[in-house]
Amino acid sequence: MTHSPYADFDLLNPSAEAESKKHKLKRLVQSPNSYFMDVKCPGCFSISTVFSHAQTVVICGSCSSVLCQPTGGRARLTEGSSYRRKN
């Protein structure tokens, strides 16, 4: 009996790290890559909710500074701003 290189890989119980690297439709349970996040403005320290893949420029509601700018995929946060992923 030959030893298969795939014998150690369990298809029904993949690791969380392996699942997160797969395409969103090829995972065992489909889940999106996008999320909402609380972004703290570096100027006035107010918190705004921003979509991770925002397609428009997001501006702070109180001081009108730019919080993030769109790219091809995920939005790029401005320098100095911090965020927390919402669940």
State whether residue 40 is helix, strand or coil: strand
- Name the region of 45 (left: φ>0; alpha: ψ -120 to 50; beta: rest): left
Domains of the chain: 34-85 (2.20.25.100)
- pLDDT at position 4 over 80: no
State whether residue 38 is helix, strand or coil: strand
70-86 per-position pLDDT tens digit: 999 999 999 999 999 99
State residue 3 phi and psi, 5-degree precision: -90, 120
pTM for the full predicted model? 0.72
3-state secondary structure 45-79: CCEEEEECCCCCCEECCCCCCEEEECCCCCCEECC
Average of per-residue pLDDT across 6-27: 84
